[in-house]
Amino acid sequence: MPWQIDLASYAVSMLLLPVVLAPVIARNQRLLSAIAFMVASVSSLVMIVAGALTVWSGRTQKIVLLIGLPDLPFHLRLDPLSGFFLTVIGLLALFVSVYSKGYVKGILAKRSITSLTIFYCIFLAGMYMVVLSDDALIFLISWEVMAAASYFLVMFENERIENRRAAFLYMVVAHVGAIAILLSFGVLAGLAAGFGSFSGYTFDAMRAAKFPLEWATAAFLLSFFGFAAKAGVVPLHVWLPEAHPVAPSNVSALMSGVMLKTAIYGIIRVTFDLIKVFPWWWGAIVLILGLISAVMGVLYALMQHDLKRLLAYHSVENIGIILIGVGLAMIFTSFNMPLLAALALIAGIYHTLNHAMFKGLLFMGAGAVLHATHERNMEEMGGLIHMMPWTAALFLVGCVSISALPPFNGFVSEWLTFQAFLLSPSLPSPLLKLLIPMGAALLALTGALAAACFVKAFGVTFLGHWRGHHRPNVHEADWFMRIGMIMAAFTCLLLGIFPTILIGWLDTIPEQLLGTKIATTAGAFGWMWLTPVAYERASYSGPIVFCGILVVVLAAYLILHVRPGAIQRVPIWDCGFEKINQRMQYNATSFSMPIRRIFGFLFHVKEQVRISPQAAHKAFPKKLYYSLRVRDRFWGWLYKPVIELSFWVSRKVGRLQQGRIQAYLIYSFLTIIVLLVFL
């Protein structure tokens, strides 16, 4: 009985309930938000059950829907890979839906949330359907539904020009990507069943087919381009830092946390499942683009002082890290080393899950800050840890996780990626042997820069004194928001402490795609020890690191508090400097100054210092103006020429538009003649 896939389809259809109800109960906004987010939570919970059990059992289930085009019904399929992505989406959707219940309260006072709830549910359903679909048609339909719903969510606060601009940019990039994916499926379907028939549109037909290398390469490059545009891989990332920050924070959490992952799903599905046989340089492309995205993403993030924009750039970085794992897995697969490929693939999909959790948590935290201070600019914040202790502590958990510090989850997947890198000397190609370790160094650079970036993000936002000019009435997040964040933070910790159990659960995915398990080696010494490949090679024990630090910290604390020493609270010492004020603190711009100076050549940095002319003497300026502009070089290189070209073409084409009915009639007449002659 295929009950898991039935469960999954019930969960999707459940999401349509609020969509249908919304216009009816739109007058009672409170009730609408309660119903919509409750239904979303329940459906996510159902989805987690269906997905997790599928991964656990390792079985594949299929159903054919009775709807669709004539003779071309829709196919759905639930296998371990899609089960895993369902679980990831479901988990974050659950946390975010609980959080949203509290978050939209802040919006309710200002505007109607009807469209937010409708598109929120459609967006979730679209993401679920993308990973469930098993033919090119429904895949593309779901892909478009997901893109369109998220477009409307980005447009939610559409009175601001930056939101409209961001949404438009997002729509353009999403569609260019979708066209590439459509073409890629076209190539695959055509080769699977001949270009004359339609029956190749199912993924099953593509799986059964063998593709000649040149066509397979074309299909891979097209689909990779399309998915990379969705995932925000450098240089296709420009839409991401525009669109993610302007969406409502709960939507940003979902977009950054899980929508980008559907693109990762697409890449894995097309390469490992549909095409299956590929040369090593496909993997090298994925690996190199992953490395570039990781390093550039984190460097861009360091230059930001808008909290949500900073987080959005970190999504670019983390997508890069995931692609590093996937790329390594592809290289190992092409050299027929399934065990090593399985390790690298596990590292990649583990990071997929981890990134969903901590990025969701961080965006929820940023949302709570935005909700409380109505401010996204970190330069205007500071000292929030005293006013929002819960949010601060939970945001800190996210910061530690994303900075790849043990015992939290980000560390485990980066460590596994490093282990995959360390195995590259066993590759037969000398070139790869020498070059792949450089990638490991770049990954280390990424991790360290991410830590620097999150010291900045947390330090400037939550620590120190309030930096802004006027002080708003800051309040702590409410319980719905807190519970959403607490669940995500707790998952981050659990995923960091019990990686062995999780890898045992994930193992059906490499088994399905590569035919190997790694749990036999990774968990050979029980749940406490993570030993990929072999015990002598490398090992890590999350529980011992966690408990060890906890025990020593507690012991030191208790021993030192035997003598009741009073803590004296005094004003800041600061080497005896008395006239200190809150404007003298380090802020986001000054914190990243050394890094900006070292890596500044990668950006378009324009720095200006102007001393106020009214100064009595040059040495004692009354005022100092400092302005800094950091711009993306890719914008000038890649996008500006395209934009200018399209404007140029539109202007030329625009000449056709005469505004006279006679001219238009001639156009129609000529068109008909041309059609008659040539067809």
Partner 1 sequence: MILYPFLIEILQVLILLAAAPVFVGWVRVLKCWTQGRSSAGIFQPYRDIRKLLSKDVVLAENASWVFRFTPYLVFGTAVIAGGIIPILSVDLPLAATADVIVLAALFAIARFFTALAGMDIGTAFGGMGSSREMTIASLAEPAMLMAIFTMSLASRSTSLSHMAEVILSGQPVLRPSIAFALFAFVLIALAETGRIPVDNPATHLELTMIHEAMILEYSGRHLALIEWASMMKLFLFVVLGIAAFAPWGIAPSGNLFALPAAFLFMSLKLGAAGVALVLIETGLAKMRLFRLTEFLGSAFLLATLGMLSYFILE
For 154-175, give the DSSP string.
Answer: HTTTTTSHHHHHHHHHHHHHHH
Q: In the complex with partner 1, which residue's Cβ is closer, 177 or 532? A: 532
Q: How far is the CB of 140 from partner 1 (least distance, A)?
A: 41
Q: In the complex with partner 1, which residue's Cβ is closer, 269 or 596? A: 596
Place of tokens 């290289």: 331
> What are residue 516's phi and psi, to 5 degrees?
-135, 155
Q: How far is the CB of 464 from partner 1 (least distance, A)?
A: 3
Q: In the complex with partner 1, which residue's Cβ is closer, 26 or 393? A: 393
Q: How far is the CB of 152 from partner 1 (least distance, A)?
A: 39
Q: In the complex with partner 1, which residue's Cβ is closer, 179 or 533? A: 533
Q: How far is the CB of 524 from partner 1 (least distance, A)?
A: 12
Q: In the complex with partner 1, which residue's Cβ is closer, 267 or 302? A: 302
Q: In the complex with partner 1, which residue's Cβ is closer, 584 or 649? A: 584
Q: In the complex with partner 1, which residue's Cβ is closer, 228 or 416? A: 416
For residue 270, give Cα distances in angstroms to 216, 278, 335: 10, 11, 19
Place of tokens 């993997």: 283
Q: In the complex with partner 1, which residue's Cβ is closer, 186 or 464? A: 464
Q: How far is the CB of 463 from partner 1 (least distance, A)?
A: 4
CA count, 13 A, side-chain hemisphere, 226 = 26
Neighbours of 8 (CB within 10 A): 30
Q: Which of 52, 51, 17 is nearest to 37 (CA)?
A: 17
Q: How far is the CB of 434 from partner 1 (least distance, A)?
A: 6
Q: How far is the CB of 249 from partner 1 (least distance, A)?
A: 23
Characterize 340-374 residue by residue with b for buried, 16 or more Cβ atoms within 10 angstroms of its Cβ, and e for exposed.
Answer: bbbbbbbbbbbbbbbbbbbbbbbbbbbbbbbbbbe
Q: In the complex with partner 1, which residue's Cβ is closer, 80 or 407? A: 407
Q: In the complex with partner 1, which residue's Cβ is closer, 128 or 498? A: 498
CB 290, CB 323: distance < 8 Å: yes
> What are residue 528's phi and psi, to 5 degrees?
-80, -30
Q: How far is the CB of 417 from partner 1 (least distance, A)?
A: 10
DSSP alpha helix (H) spans, 155-235: 161-193, 203-208, 213-231
CB 260, CB 352: distance < 8 Å: no
Three-class secondary structure assignment of 256-305 = HHHHHHHHHHHHHHHHHHHHCCCCHHHHHHHHHHHHHHHHHHHHHHHHCC
Q: How far is the CB of 489 from partner 1 (least distance, A)?
A: 16
Neighbours of 526 (CB within 10 A): 9
Q: How far is the CB of 405 from partner 1 (least distance, A)?
A: 4
CA count, 13 A, side-chain hemisphere, 182 = 12
d(CA 431, CA 379) in angstroms, rounded, equals: 46
Q: How far is the CB of 488 from partner 1 (least distance, A)?
A: 20
Q: In the complex with partner 1, which residue's Cβ is closer, 145 or 385? A: 385
For residue 619, give Cα distances in angstroms to 3, 534, 579, 624: 78, 66, 20, 12
d(CA 176, CA 168) in angstroms, rounded, equals: 12
d(CA 361, CA 492) in angstroms, rounded, equals: 9
Q: In the complex with partner 1, which residue's Cβ is closer, 86 or 287? A: 287
CB 610, CB 478: distance < 8 Å: no
d(CA 388, CA 475) in angstroms, rounded, equals: 7
Q: Residue 3 corresponds to which tokens in the numbers above? A: 């009950």
Q: In the complex with partner 1, which residue's Cβ is closer, 140 or 528? A: 528
Q: How far is the CB of 329 from partner 1 (least distance, A)?
A: 20
Q: How far is the CB of 525 from partner 1 (least distance, A)?
A: 8
Q: In the complex with partner 1, which residue's Cβ is closer, 246 or 291? A: 291
For residue 136, give Cα distances in angstroms to 74, 130, 148, 181, 274: 9, 10, 18, 9, 11
Query: What three-state secondary structure class fits 331?
Result: helix
For residue 673, give Cα distances in angstroms to 99, 128, 660, 670: 61, 47, 21, 5
Q: How far is the CB of 609 from partner 1 (least distance, A)?
A: 18
